[in-house]
Structure 1
Amino acid sequence: MTLSEDVLAARISVDLSMQVPPLAQIRQWLATVLADLAEDLLQDLMLVCTELVANAYDHACAPRRLRVLRSSDHQALRIEVDDGSPDSLPVTGKSRLGAFRGRGLIMVDTLSRRRWGTYSGTECKTVWAELPLS
């Protein structure tokens, strides 16, 4: 996992080249870098980030990257996760991994107040969500 951060511009980027998703490391890193956030918002951010990263590992192929961006007006945080599977689009409430799975995007949908989606290119896709700061 390679970290790159520009806290002044509020752009945080994580190269997810590891074989296993580094979810605990991502949570620890976010807590350090974004320590100025209210605790409940930080917990929501960690949950959304780990859900989107876990989905990229479970349902898509490499390369993968996580970005967290603070809007210029400081009213929202945007989480973006890229992966190398542009044709594998997320489906809320369903998982090919079994009936006991598929609830992660429901949580993302709720925490982001339905402000999430995907962008697909020819070689990759980005799944994004925005968390309001107020």
Structure 2
Amino acid sequence: MPDETEGGSAWSLDLRGTSAPVLVQVRRWASRTLAGVDDAHLVDVLIVVTELVTNAYDHGRGPSEIRMGFTPRPCLVRVEVDDGSPAHPVVASPSLTALGGRGMLIVEKLSAAWGVRDDPETGGKTVWAEVACDSAG
């Protein structure tokens, strides 16, 4: 059930105790909850969701929760992923030989903004990204 926030909506999904195969369900959840976002921009949001959740599995001791918020004007989707690691993600220079390391570069390219908020209570962090979903973005 979404929460109304400042003319938009917000949703959350508990990911504690899950593993990477849950990414299919996370993308389905995101697609259903963002039914009002056009397909071209929804693809960008789904890529950002996938990268942030994957990073939490690979580098952050697994995600504990994902939240998405949507505001219609200006059209913007905010994605937040909590994990238990204090280590911040970095945007790495792409390498032709490395198998990974491109996730945050992709997030940076598809997002209007992204960042990290430390959580002193858990010792972890929240990685967030905002994706514009209108023709101006």
- The TM-score range, normalised by the shorter chain, is 0.7 to 0.9
Listed as ranges, the gaps of 5+ residues in structure 2 are none
The corresponding residue for 1:32 is 32
CA distance in structure 1 between the partners assigned to 2:88 and 2:47 by the alignment: 20
How many residues are paired up? 126
One of 116, 120, 124 as aligned partner of 1:118:
116
Pick 1 or 2: higher relative contact order, CA cutoff 8 A, min separation 6.
Answer: 2
- Give the deviation of 1:32 after TM superposition: 1.7
Root mean square deviation, CA, Å: 2.2
> Given the alignment of the two structures, is residue 6 of structure 1 paired with residue 2 of structure 2, yes or no?
yes
The corresponding residue for 2:42 is 42
Q: Report percent identity of matched pairs.
A: 38
Report 1:61-72 matches (<5 A).
61-62=61-62, 64-71=64-71
User: Deviating runs (4+, > 3 A) in structure 1?
Assistant: 71-74
Q: 1:62 touches 1:84 (CA, 8 Å); kept in 2?
A: yes
> Given the alignment of the two structures, is residue 17 of structure 1 paired with residue 13 of structure 2, yes or no?
no
CA distance in structure 2 between the partners assigned to 1:20 and 1:102 by the alignment: 20
TM-score (norm 2): 0.81
The residue identity in structure 2 corresponding to 1:80 is E
Listed as ranges, the gaps of 5+ residues in structure 1 are none
